[in-house]
Amino acid sequence: MARNFVTDASDIAIGAVLLQDFGDGLQPIAYESQKLQSAKQNYNVHDKEMLAIVHAFKIWQCYLTGADVIVRTDHKSLQYLRAQPNLNPRQIRWLDYLESNFMYRITYKKGANNIVDALSRPSAQTVAVLIVQTVAERTIYPRIFDLSLFPE
C-alpha cells in the first residue's frame, strides 16, 4: 500500500499532512508545520515547495522508508524534478537525499482549499495549530486553534 502526503509552502512556513487509506479514502494521520527561518524565507517559490517535501520525508522517514510514496504538491514543476536540467547545489543535495532513501513520485494537485494550507498559510498573522486525538489507533479528530504569531 502506497504512503501519501501533501505539502505546501508560503513565505513564512511550510506544512505537510501524512495520509493513509483505511478503506474509505485518504485520511490524515499526522500533521507537520514549521516556520521558516529568515534565510529560508528568501528562497524562491520552487525551493520553498521542494523544502516542504524534503522536510516531510525527514520528519516521517521511519514511516516512508521502503514504501512506495506518493507526494502531492500544488507546485506543478516539481513533478518533473528528476528531469530538470539546471538544478542548483541545494536542489541537487535534496534530490540526492530523496533518490538515495526513498521510492517516490511527485504528483500535482491544485492548491485551492488544500488540507495542508492551514499549516503553511496563516491569515491575519495567525497560524492554525492542529491538535490530533487518536481513538482506537485509527480514528482521528483534528481540532484547530488559532494562535497569534505576533502577540500585541
**74 vs 117, more confident:** 74
In which element (H, E) is residue 146 found? strand 139-148
> Which pLDDT band, with edges at 50, 70 and 90, does 142 fall under?
very low
Q: Return the number of other C-beta atoms located less than 10 Å from residue 86's C-beta.
A: 5
pLDDT at 22: 84
pLDDT at 49: 94
pTM higher than the cut 0.95: no
Please give the average per-residue pLDDT across 42-54, as a whole number.
96
pLDDT at 133 over 60: no
pLDDT at 50: 97
pLDDT at 104: 96
Across the chain, what does the average pLDDT equal? 80
C-alpha cell at 84: 530538470
pLDDT at 121: 59
Q: Concatenated DSSP letters for 75-135?
A: -GGGGGGGG-S---HHHHHHHHHHHHH-EEEEEE---TT-TTHHHH--STTEEEEEEEEEE
Q: How far apart are CA 57 and CA 140, in angstroms?
A: 22
pLDDT at 52 over 80: yes
User: 107 has which bridge partners?
Assistant: 72
In which element (H, E) is residue 14 found? strand 13-21
**7 vs 112, more confident:** 7
Name the residue among 149, 112, 104, 99 with its Cα closest to residue 129. 149
* Domains located in the chain, CATH noted: 3-148 (3.30.420.10)
Percent of the chain with pLDDT over 70: 72
